[in-house]
Structure 1
Amino acid sequence: MGARFYLFPILLLYSSLAFTQQNEIHIKAILNSENNQLLIEQEIVFYNNSKDTLSQIVLHNWPNSFKNRETPLSKRFINDFRKDLYFAKEEDLGATTIKNVSIDYDNVVHQEYENKPDILQVFLTKPLKPLESTTLKISYLVKLPSAKFTSYGVHKNGYRLRYWYITPAIYNDGWHLMSNLNLDDLFEDYTTFKIDLKIPKVFSLSSNLKQTIQSDTTHHHYQLLGKNEKDIILNIERKNTFKQFNADHHQIQTNILDAEFNTALVTDILNKELKFLTQYLGEISVNKIFIDKAMQEKNPVYGLNQLPDFLSPFPHVFKYDLELFKVLSRRYLKQTFFVNQREDYWLLDGLQNYLMIEYVNKFYPEIKLIGKVADTWFLRNFNISKLQFNQKYPFVYQFTARKFLDQSLNTSADALSNFNRKIVSKYKAGLGLYYLKGYLGKTVLNESIKEFYQKNKGLVVKSENFQNTLAKHTHKDVQWFFNDFIKTNKKIDYTIKKVTETKDSLKVTLKNKRNITAPIAFYGLQNDSITYKKWFASIKDTLTISIPKGRFDQLALNYENVYPEYNTLDNYYRTDKKLLKKPLKLSLIKDVKAPKYNQLFYQPTLAYNYYDGFILGVKLHNKPLIKRNLEFKTSPGYATKSNKLNGSFSVVYNQFFEKTSLYKISYGIIGTTLQYAPDLSYSALIPYVDIQFKRASLRDATTEFIRAKTVLIHKEISPLSVKSEQDSYRVFSLSYDYINPDIISEIRFNVKTEVAKNFSKISTDFRYRKLTSSDTQVDFRVFAGAFIHNDSKGDYFSYGLDRANDYLFELNYYGRSEDSGLFSQQYIINEGGFKSVLPTRFANQYMLSFNSSIGLWRWIEYYNDVAFLKNKTKPIFFGYENGIRFNFVHNIFEIYLPLYSNNGWEVSQKAYAEKIRFTFTGNVNRIYNFFRRGFL
């Protein structure tokens, strides 16, 4: 019995070791640089460390994600408005050609997952029981893709290779499968690697493994070794751009270099960074850290590197240090932390961004958000110039949250919008840990992080593991953080509801305005200095506290921006007896909010139309950089040509919805006065309601909304004219719009009805734009409109074939009343959509129009239009035309050259130049929305 007693723990230890056996990958590869191919013989020793018996092994074959336009990677790019892989040339594509898969020298059946060619199933001939292993041998050829798709692949100096080999998926209560979506997040087990690589002698190799080299007359032979490794990165270059630094007893190999910094200075910077990581994470367990330029480019420090060096407002050392620290800390965490970054990304992102915040706090507390330009004469009075660099985190979060475009931190990484994935969710995760630091105390959080990291490095970790570690170090409840803060996009929003004075104290009532109960920080301020601070938790509705009277001139919530909050404008209360609790502050252009002030912004404006000339004015508004619910603006201006005072105003209230299919309802009113003809002005007053529906997901760019409005128009008339129904009228309009701006197949649909005193009508406008398999653009549009009743006189309210009358003044015509000259040639696709002026231009009963165009070469297209027009007491008119379209920037800058129509050969007729039409918009919002596609 005694022998069995001692034998049991030995067997238990042996069983535990066997249970955690590490996979092995042996690779023999030859680079064929003429064909950009890797010929690979690979052996995978796979250990079944699970409790289940396996009948198959699933492999990630990410080199095959570049094979064609049907892969998940290509579809992801299309969703991001990138078509470079979809229309790539054959030589730029990449693929895996598997020649043979065998186990114990017997070929085995293997197949790609349906619609996922970068995931491979290998069917075992014999079940693989728990704690057993099997050896797969795979012979395959990898055609390397161009680096322009993901930054990894073939480039002009050689090859940057990442995810270039086949690797087993992780099995843990099922296979963890993921396709390559350019997220650099492959969930790959720690593995023992032995790689023999043969490359032409003109190249040299840099990698994250230990390497030795032998050479012959034509080739270098590299042997690479590594244990407890994953994500093997190779840089094969004609000109070696990498340099090795020995810092804090570690090897850092990188090509993130700066000509102004010598080896000693870079080493000093790396020493500082590594010691900082050691302070927060504990002992660094890897000897070599490999970081390349592609990692830096894919993980930029936003706000820091968006300008070229000669325009950068930041000190050069700060810029380089922070860029290097971000990629170094991220690479180190990914190299040593075993997290499923697609499912539990917030944990790694939170740690890395918390480290970034603390790093700046420690070494660069004086750096402003906008750098040294904050002290210039023009900007120093702006509130944004007073923000510290780290205040970008709550600012960017609030910018998104106010539009209800943020997503919960447990949202799968591949379901995040690009803006959230690249910036907002990372910032919120980092702020979350900074929030915990403030609430629990610096020592509690930092000790928890260090213990969590040291005990779990090299192991599979989840959020629950961090929660358990944190709970050991504090008696305070942190369930709110791991539930509401992480698992929902509920927004923290507290306010000082009221303050009641007693003889010697102030009774302060704090109110929770939303549906999350989280700790808040309350401050008493005297001359902008903190003299009182206390945290309060569990405020579900209201809490009344008592503080001494006469010690504070201001009370505040979240004064230090410790936690991300939905609205901080109502976080302040002045205890003095001033008439205005918040004094008025005028600011030029736009600025970030100043919570202690009521802000009004002003900015010069410049507009143009043919009758007013240039309109010089000023816009007064209340819209800071972060969106508000209630917004107003007024824009008076002086017209240099008409010598008139005109302008516009608007007031809108945006009501957002969280738990319904509605995104928001906007209630507003717009007023405008401008010239519509020489010395004649019009006034428009438009009360409206917009109902916008939520997208299926934030990665879906589809927009769907309903608009109801009443348009009241009053027009000046010439003294020689008699006032008619066309000069003062009211029209009620109800419309529905659906827009799917897909880069391959774009669909736009509108249906609208209008009701006025003398007419009512209904119309629909359907537009479809398609890029064919040869990258040829095809545009197709159908417009159908009919009057339900029409007692109006003339054609003022009729459907226009080549130019809409625009009696609602919706279209941005520069010379809306012109029938000759340059401005009469302005073209805005509407109603009939024709470019040529035909004998019948209007329809007072119904119109059916078909517009189409097809690409000929690059931005040159051929257009063809037909239409049927019906007027009272007249037969149906059939119109047709064709011509050449120069589609430089779609719907922003286009030129149309008519060729043939009902008029005959247009090019042979008199004054052909006057028949050319053009589309041009100076609408900044439209241009911005066009170029920002795929990011927000």
Structure 2
Amino acid sequence: MKNLIIYLFLLLTVQGFSQQQNQIEAKISNQGKTIEVVQHIQFLNTTTNDLLELDFNDWNYALSTKKSAIANKFSDEYNRSFHLSSKKERSTTEIHQISDSENSVLEYYRRESQPDILHLKLKNPLKPNQMGTYTFSYTVTLPDAKFTKFGWYNENKIILKNCFLSVCSFVDGKFTNQSENNLDDCTTNYADYFIKISTEKPYFITTDLDELTKTDNQLTLKGINRNTFSIVLETENSYESFNNEHVKAITNIKSKNLNEYSRVILIDRITTFVAQNLGQSKQEKIVVSNEDYEREPFYGLNELPAFISPFNEDFIFELKFLKTYLNNYLYSQLHINFRKDHWILEGIQHYFIKKYIDEFYPDMKAFGKLADFKILKGYKIINMPFSEQFLYNFLLMARKNLDQPIGYDKDLLIKFNEKIAGKFKAGLLLNYTSSLLKEGEFDSKLKEFIALNQVSKHVTRENFYQLFSSDSTANFWLKNLVEKDEITDLKFKKRKRKNEVIEFEITSSHDYKLPFTYALYKDKKLIERVQDTIIKSKKLSFNQKQYDYIELNDQNLLPEWDNKNNFKKFKTNLTGNKPLKFTFFKDIENPKYSQIFFVPTGEFNFYDGILLGMRINNRSVIDKPFTFSLTPNYSTKTNTLAGSTGFTYTKNYKNSGFFNTRYGLGLTRMHYLPDAFYTKITPSISFNFRNKDLRKNEGENILIRQVYVYQEKSAFVKQQNENYSVFNLRYNYFKSELVNQFSYNTDLQIANSFSKLSGSIGYRKLFENNRYITLRGFGGFFMYNDNKSSNFFSFGVDRPSDYLFDYPLLGRSESTGLYSQQFVYGEGGFKSKLNQRFANQYIFTLNASLNIWNWIEIYGDIGTYKSRNLAPKYVYDSGIHLNLVQDYFELFFPVYSSNGFELNDKNYGEKIRFVVTLSPKILTSLFTRRWF
């Protein structure tokens, strides 16, 4: 009765603030894993039509099934934690009853395609301007917090966020139904919350809601006009409170070597900075948790190993707190759709992160104190200003042709764009827009936008664009760069001299008005910086004795695709417009130099031994269209030189399923026998296609190449094909994610002595019970084959002969010994070595494997093949597969095959097959498939 009186009093006192109200009574039990909930939700129909259904967010339910949107996202990003989790680690929402104000029991349903949205059927239509009250009785089982950082950590720590039902955002008479996607962007209509929490044991409770009453095991909370809230329950309090005239900041972000006084000073500076630039927080309390930071860290800062410690403790703490505080402040202030217009929050956040660093740390370098080491002075990546990394994080994706418009819904962005590049790009865009306006005008308009959100229930990007309607150029560019995925690039086209006058022609990638700046230098000093505009092209004339060089967009305010072509000397010398710069290892692009990199390399094969060398190339950290590489290696076993060289040119295509065209020429020279080299020369062209929806890791590839092979004669083999040329046409299709992987390819080869056609198809499926099956089929036949006495060009049953030198074989010519046991996934795919190991007419095989526990699998292969003048063979094998690191290190133990029971063989050790890859590209791909 007492609680009912409290609720009634609260409802009466805040009736005018919100059209929705939530009363939640939550009893936490089962060591914090389970919550019994009774929830009363009031909803006002603001339309002119009757409502027959209401829609509710039930994001807790999203982690109950492997068919939800968040489960699909985990699969797309190869996140194994959820799909391999047990049922007790996942969540559920069990609805007991839903009733209306007349105590009529209501029906509800969920759509299979969107199970975390609950659709409530009303018995009595909700009339225009009518308030409806609905009571929900349900049980919440919290998910393990390892999935999203929210939920159940252990019996001593629980974080409640988005675990209770809430009305879906209701705009213009329609519900906006957005599923949980691990984006922390639940968009709901603002509501008043009154929450009573009961626990089995005492907890320290930290929340951004207001506390009304509190006992050891019970707490009553209030939140007025809120779109979200979080509640942290701990048996040992990890949070500290810091108060000033702007806000009460509650945080558990710690720093080992930073005392409380220093933390107070830094937090006061940050909260004051935000209040002065964006206005007072409408919430009295803002929680800034380490868990929030870990969900959205400052990438780069968090990747450096602790022993390097290039930044002071205060700077690291400051940046962590600043980024998280700005995020939570803006989330509480903005009334936007956080999924559709996420770039507004992220742009403002990163614009002010940059501004804060530029104001308080103007001399801070990207790698902090590492810039003090003389040996690193020549590296631009080390010595560039800290905030310049915003540009290069954006360029990293733009050069890979994986850039996406920041105006896309957030759940359409690939992981790297969602977490890193898109946020930095949004900050760069706002910084560029600021440069087009008078000093202070942009910041003033951002304050206006924040104020607009305080008086308007629903704010969109159109409201944001409208802020700059008085400046047509800023308005146009802001909207254009948000909505479209276009390449922006300025470059010098021509340079003419006449007497003492020099004329530069500048071109733009756009045919409409583009504001830009250029800087003029003399004796390495900035003489003048000019703001100008360009439409397609522009000519600039100067007295060539007055300046030494000109640089476009020298402050990188405009997010350009390529800034290497922004620099031009007035006079050239023997080194041309840009002098050569030689750098050990890698560096970021420096537009003032032509960079050559030297990267130490190490390789190994049985014939050359350890190959030590140096890769000489022009590949910086950021991709570029044209690259070359020269890698001379010293063979420690033969005391000779080996190595490779080549170049590629890549032409990307924007906004098209036609992803890019790549032209290449490669040359490799290595030993294929102890006393003989092979030389492979390969001119090639490939056409690459990728689904426009980059989140679907789906693509196609067409490769056309001519492979020329020259082999030295060897005393180790009597008969060999010394020199030959093969025309190769390949087509490959793939669609890959954690749960389902599917691919197929065809391969046509034509040479003087043979022609053959082959193809393979692969499928991998992860089932609900955490078992996965892998299937692969291969088939091929010769159209003609004049090699009557040799199997050199034949299909391999258990290992390809690799006459095109495509596979990373450690001992490619070995037929006995350890190196002959190396297995590669190609052609027949058998693991047992059969008596007849090649086919010179046709081959058809099927390979299958099924995991029985973690990385332990059983495999089986069946097939048929035929060679000239021999009867067709029907073969099989089976055994145990230890898939320790897929494609990197695997072991196969044959058990039973066409050879018989192989475990009885006294030389069984010689039958074990292994997969080993020494190339770092394989391990790199395990990372890139998660992010790109």
How high is the TM-score relative to the length of structure 2? 0.95
> Secondary structure in 2 aligned to 1:275?
helix
Q: Verify: 1:736 aligned to 2:726, yes or no.
A: no
Aligned partner (choices 539, 547, 554) of residue 552 of structure 1? 547
Match of 2:865 in 1: 869
* Structure 1: tracts of 5 or more residues without a match: 1-16
Match of 2:565 in 1: 570
Match of 2:140 in 1: 142
Which stretch of structure 1 is more off in the superposition, 163-172 or 106-115? 106-115
> Secondary structure in 2 aligned to 1:85?
helix
**Which residue type is aligned with residue 897 of structure 1?**
F
Which stretch of structure 1 is more off in the superposition, 836-845 or 712-721? 712-721
Alignment of 1:657-696 (within 5 A): 657-696=653-692
Q: Residues 66-107 of structure 1, C-alpha deviation per residue, up to 9 Å, x if partnerless?
A: 222122222221122123323322221211111222222222
**Which residue type is aligned with residue 98 of structure 2?**
V
Match of 2:185 in 1: 185
CA distance in 2: counterparts of 1:625 and 1:517, whole angstroms: 32
- How many angstroms does 1:618 deviate by? 1.3
CA distance in 2: counterparts of 1:873 and 1:510, whole angstroms: 71
Aligned partner (choices 109, 122, 125) of residue 123 of structure 2? 125
> Secondary structure in 1 aligned to 2:435?
helix
Match of 2:10 in 1: none
CA distance in 2: counterparts of 1:175 and 1:427, whole angstroms: 31
- How many angstroms does 1:279 deviate by? 2.1
Alignment of 1:196-345 (within 5 A): 196-215=196-215, 220-345=217-342
Q: 1:458 to 1:71 in 2, by over 3 A?
A: farther
Q: 1:51 to 1:563 in 2, by over 3 A?
A: farther
Q: Residues 290-337 of structure 1, C-alpha deviation per residue, up to 9 Å, x if partnerless?
A: 122211101101111123444331111111001101000110000111
CA distance in 2: counterparts of 1:461 and 1:160, whole angstroms: 29
> Secondary structure in 1 aligned to 2:782?
strand
Aligned partner (choices 912, 918, 921) of residue 922 of structure 1? 918
Q: Residues 454-502 of structure 1, C-alpha deviation per residue, up to 9 Å, x if partnerless?
A: 2333532222212222234xx4522432332111011210112223344
Match of 1:91 in 2: 88
Match of 2:100 in 1: 103
Q: Residues 722-771 of structure 1, C-alpha deviation per residue, up to 9 Å, x if partnerless?
A: 776x1111100101111223212222212101000011000111122222
Match of 1:12 in 2: none
CA distance in 1: counterparts of 2:819 and 2:715, whole angstroms: 25
**Which residue type is aligned with residue 398 of structure 2?**
A
Alignment of 1:473-872 (within 5 A): 475-503=471-499, 505-514=501-510, 517-537=513-533, 539-579=534-574, 580-718=576-714, 726-793=721-788, 794-872=790-868
CA distance in 1: counterparts of 2:315 and 2:716, whole angstroms: 71
Q: 1:19 to 1:753 in 2, by over 3 A?
A: farther
Match of 1:161 in 2: 160
**Which residue type is aligned with residue 268 of structure 1?**
I
Q: CA RMSD in A?
A: 1.9
> Secondary structure in 1 aligned to 2:291?
helix
Q: 1:247 to 1:258 in 2, by over 3 A?
A: farther
- How many angstroms does 1:51 deviate by? 4.5
Match of 1:5 in 2: none
Q: 1:713 to 1:310 in 2, by over 3 A?
A: closer
How high is the TM-score relative to the length of structure 1? 0.95
> Secondary structure in 1 aligned to 2:441?
helix
CA distance in 1: counterparts of 2:504 and 2:265, whole angstroms: 51
CA distance in 2: counterparts of 1:550 and 1:384, whole angstroms: 33
- How many angstroms does 1:263 deviate by? 2.9
Q: 1:477 to 1:513 in 2, by over 3 A?
A: closer
* Structure 2: tracts of 5 or more residues without a match: 1-13
Which stretch of structure 1 is more off in the superposition, 492-501 or 682-691? 492-501
CA distance in 1: counterparts of 2:716 and 2:796, whole angstroms: 27
Aligned partner (choices 58, 76, 79) of residue 79 of structure 1? 76
Alignment of 1:895-910 (within 5 A): 895-910=891-906
**Which residue type is aligned with residue 210 of structure 2?**
K
Of all paired residues, the percent bearing the same amino acid is 30
CA distance in 1: counterparts of 2:130 and 2:875, whole angstroms: 78
Cα contact 1:196–1:224 (8 A) shared by 2: yes
Q: 1:645 to 1:515 in 2, by over 3 A?
A: farther
Q: 1:401 to 1:516 in 2, by over 3 A?
A: farther
- How many angstroms does 1:504 deviate by? 5.5
CA distance in 2: counterparts of 1:680 and 1:502, whole angstroms: 60
Cα contact 1:368–1:389 (8 A) shared by 2: yes
CA distance in 1: counterparts of 2:308 and 2:572, whole angstroms: 46
> Secondary structure in 2 aligned to 1:378?
helix
Q: 1:458 to 1:222 in 2, by over 3 A?
A: farther
**Which residue type is aligned with residue 611 of structure 2?**
I
Q: Residues 35-64 of structure 1, C-alpha deviation per residue, up to 9 Å, x if partnerless?
A: 721111111121223444423221111121
Cα contact 1:27–1:41 (8 A) shared by 2: yes
> Secondary structure in 1 aligned to 2:590?
coil
> Secondary structure in 2 aligned to 1:409?
coil
Q: 1:282 to 1:548 in 2, by over 3 A?
A: farther
Q: Verify: 1:934 aligned to 2:911, yes or no.
A: no
CA distance in 2: counterparts of 1:517 and 1:695, whole angstroms: 32
Q: Residues 556-588 of structure 1, C-alpha deviation per residue, up to 9 Å, x if partnerless?
A: 111111121001111011112423111111111
- How many angstroms does 1:418 deviate by? 0.6
Q: 1:326 to 1:35 in 2, by over 3 A?
A: closer
CA distance in 2: counterparts of 1:577 and 1:906, whole angstroms: 73
- How many angstroms does 1:624 deviate by? 1.0
> Secondary structure in 2 aligned to 1:401?
helix
Which stretch of structure 1 is more off in the superposition, 757-766 or 695-704? 695-704
Q: 1:787 to 1:483 in 2, by over 3 A?
A: same
Cα contact 2:658–2:689 (8 A) shared by 1: yes
Match of 1:8 in 2: none
- How many angstroms does 1:352 deviate by? 0.5
Cα contact 1:582–1:597 (8 A) shared by 2: yes
**Which residue type is aligned with residue 150 of structure 1?**
T
CA distance in 2: counterparts of 1:489 and 1:241, whole angstroms: 44
